[in-house]
Structure 1
Amino acid sequence: MASCKAILCFILTYFLLQLSEINAKVPAIIVFGDSSVDSGNNNQISTILKSNFAPYGRDFIDGKPTGRFSNGRIPTDFISEAFGIKLTVPAYLDPMYNITDFATGVSFASAGTGYDNATSDVLSVLPLWKELEYYTEYQNKLREYLGHERANEILREALYLISIGTNDFLENYYLLPHRSSEFSVEDYQNFLAEIARNFITELYKLGARKISIAGLPPMGCLPLERTTRIFFRNNCVEKYNDVAKDFNDKLDGLVRTLNKELAAIRLLLSNPYDILLQIIQKPEFFGFQNVKTACCGTGYFEMSYLCDKMNPFTCSDANEYVFWDSFHPTEKTNSIIADHVFKSGLIQFL
């Protein structure tokens, strides 16, 4: 009996040591980007692009609408859990949280934003430079809370996740005339890639070393694009998908370059394109029944305030749907994407 207890004690001790090692290697998740990773920052700014009302969040913890553009958790929440940190990553502007909560993870993301400042102007959301400004403010708060040595260690060992870019094309370049008259598609891609380069370089100068930048999804397959481009008979708009693939190739080249140029950086491209396209092309394989329309509303064009509790068409089981609203995946889809991104790349940071 004593021997069994000793063995159990050893196993428990080993498990705890392993868990502490994981937490030591990635002590915090720090997030920048758009609605794919905004956990509620838009709630606190003057914009019409919000989701802090039902039925958003109906499958979240306690059924609470937090400002996440989904029925539940978003990819960064699942990634934080995968690293053994916490179940959700709070929004920096959310008054319910403070530096104690943010020490292990925080999101500066703002739904509707993009690399391009002109994109954030469309719906009056936080531009990317403002997210970086809030991050420097956060650094100061963290140093006051933990002391410079411990805070700097967390900032150096934290995993930085960047997910942004879809709005630059769908809500700016292809919707409004200014950028499309100024740039060819390829020139605009290069313009955005240069902003990405500068942003990552600034993060590096501020102490970040473990960084993942997400590529674009197959944006021509979003329900909104299928619906509004009726000429394509509700099929994916391959023109937009091709743009996404081309831009992802540019980001891949950028990642390779910066890994050579910036000493000790570990920069990774996390590409959701292929896994989401697989889900869209073979939804039944992943346990979905509907991919062309979304759960909320009629499933064709509703997002934000068009997807509210007064809408009588919202589906009863979001797990049957790939998309929650016309632009954003369901929690189930988010979990599959996050699992793929973690196992195919982010796991190297363990």
Structure 2
Amino acid sequence: MAHRYSPLFLCVLERLLLVFLLYFLNAINPTRCEVPAVIVFGDSSVDAGNNNVISTLLKSNFQPYGRDFDGGRPTGRFSNGKIPPDYISQAFGLKPNVPAYLDPNYGIADFVTGVCFASAGTGYDNATSDVLQNVIPLRKELEYYMDYQSKLRAYVGDQRGNKIISEALYLMSLGTNDFLENYYTFPTRRSQFNVKQYQDFLVELSRSFITELYKMGARKISLTGVPPMGCLPLERATNFMDHHACVREYNDVALEFNGKLDAMVGQLNKELEGLKVVFTRDVYGLVLDMITKPSSYGFEVAGMSCCATGTFEMGYLCNRHSITCEDANKYVFWDAFHPSERTNQIVSSHLIPILKSEFK
């Protein structure tokens, strides 16, 4: 005699079978992050606080920095809030803030899904880190990364550690300090190179660094060039002869340098098997557009910074005694050298679809 089941029982059974089917399919082809970690190298544009623990004047671990960060706390980020790696990490389903490697509040357990080795004031040229108050040179960032690799493998095992290293997304952002704080400020490099030769010198240093990362297992790299550095509030403030307009020479140098980096990236992608470097060439144009047409992005001020609503303040010159703007979201720049959190968010929103498309 056939069993008769109630409609309710059959409905519950159907739902249970559906759940088990979805679980089974997910076990075969699990949904996961496109990348298991975000690893960061560079300067103050991406420094999450490494300079806090070294002997340098280039720090931002005090108010009003971080006033719009989680909990309103200064972390060493040169912003009123988040910086691009934070947004990118969160977009890939990882932690919302990428921790600094030298921050004593974090350890290897925190660095499994992301870590920042960047140091404010550094550049491709090791001489840049010397002239800028002994910040961490790029070669030292690489040494810290080697140390990180050893700790990572010891913590998660060789197999998983190697997988994280090879599938992680590596972010590189630097170069501005090499020009503005080294080449155009001190005579040593100008006595050795004209500006085009210095660009070529930096490009070769970038090539060498990426090649070293490749040898150490990196395969997915996003390289950001320099912004329209002639439009930074600091440079405009000192451009008396041109009524505080953007310094065209510096912007032209930035564009030319970015073009050379782009060409180098194309060569490396052909030469090194399995390597994929994405040069985010559109960032220059996006930032320039925000500066020249701020109202299109919801900004009100592009020529001056929020901190002290002035033009020279950054680092210790932007402090708790400074009179800051009420709403940093109305300013393209937070201090005389660094973008506001809102600018970082807009730039990141532009980059994230590109990175997700390229690094599936």
TM-score range, shorter chain: over 0.9
Task: Tell whether 2:242 aligns with 1:241.
Answer: no
- Give the aligned partner of residue 278 of structure 1: 289
TM-score, structure 1 length as denominator?
Answer: 0.95
Paired letter, 2:318: C
- Give the aligned partner of residue 35 of structure 1: 44
- Give the aligned partner of residue 5 of structure 2: none
- Aligned equivalent of 1:115, options 110, 113, 124: 124
Q: CA deviation at 1:38?
A: 0.2
* C-alpha distance in 2 between matches for 1:69 and 1:170: 17
After superposition, the C-alpha distances for 1:112-142 in whole angstroms (9 at most, x for unaligned) are 0000011000121000000000000000000
TM-score, structure 2 length as denominator?
Answer: 0.92
In structure 2, do the counterparts of structure 1 residues 289 and 181 end up closer, same or farther at CA, with 3 Å as the change threshold? same
- Give the aligned partner of residue 211 of structure 1: 221
- Aligned equivalent of 2:310, options 299, 310, 315: 299
- Give the aligned partner of residue 90 of structure 1: 99
In structure 2, do the counterparts of structure 1 residues 224 and 8 end up closer, same or farther at CA, with 3 Å as the change threshold? farther
- Matched residue SS, 2:121: coil
**Which range moved further: 226-235 or 260-269?**
226-235
In structure 2, do the counterparts of structure 1 residues 12 and 332 end up closer, same or farther at CA, with 3 Å as the change threshold? farther
* C-alpha distance in 2 between matches for 1:269 and 1:67: 26
Q: CA deviation at 1:12?
A: 9.0
Q: Mapping of 1:48-59 within 5 angstroms? A: 48-59=57-68
- Give the aligned partner of residue 100 of structure 1: 109
In structure 2, do the counterparts of structure 1 residues 5 and 164 end up closer, same or farther at CA, with 3 Å as the change threshold? same
Paired letter, 1:257: Q
* C-alpha distance in 2 between matches for 1:228 and 1:92: 35
Paired letter, 1:193: V
In structure 2, do the counterparts of structure 1 residues 8 and 315 end up closer, same or farther at CA, with 3 Å as the change threshold? farther
* C-alpha distance in 1 between matches for 2:298 and 2:18: 38
- Give the aligned partner of residue 209 of structure 2: 199
- How many residue pairs get matched? 348
Q: Mapping of 1:315-334 within 5 angstroms? A: 315-334=325-344
- Matched residue SS, 1:161: strand
After superposition, the C-alpha distances for 1:129-177 in whole angstroms (9 at most, x for unaligned) are 0000000000000000001000000000000010010000000001111
Q: CA deviation at 1:348?
A: 1.8
Q: Mapping of 1:1-350 within 5 angstroms? A: 2=11, 21-23=31-33, 25-122=34-131, 123-271=133-281, 272-311=283-322, 313-350=323-360
Q: CA deviation at 1:22?
A: 3.9
In structure 2, do the counterparts of structure 1 residues 303 and 13 end up closer, same or farther at CA, with 3 Å as the change threshold? farther
- Matched residue SS, 1:30: strand
* C-alpha distance in 2 between matches for 1:7 and 1:214: 49
Q: CA deviation at 1:298?
A: 3.4
- Matched residue SS, 2:278: strand
Paired letter, 2:233: P
- Matched residue SS, 2:115: strand
Paired letter, 2:357: I
In structure 2, do the counterparts of structure 1 residues 47 and 14 end up closer, same or farther at CA, with 3 Å as the change threshold? farther
* C-alpha distance in 2 between matches for 1:56 and 1:325: 9
Q: CA deviation at 1:339?
A: 1.1
After superposition, the C-alpha distances for 1:13-44 in whole angstroms (9 at most, x for unaligned) are 79988x96342x30000000000000000001
In structure 2, runs of 5+ residues without a counterpart are: 1-7
Structure whose alpha-carbon radius of gyration is higher: 2
* C-alpha distance in 2 between matches for 1:325 and 1:7: 58
Q: CA deviation at 1:346?
A: 4.6
* C-alpha distance in 2 between matches for 1:41 and 1:270: 24
* C-alpha distance in 2 between matches for 1:184 and 1:292: 29
In structure 1, runs of 5+ residues without a counterpart are: none
Question: Identity of counterpart residues, as a percentage?
Answer: 59
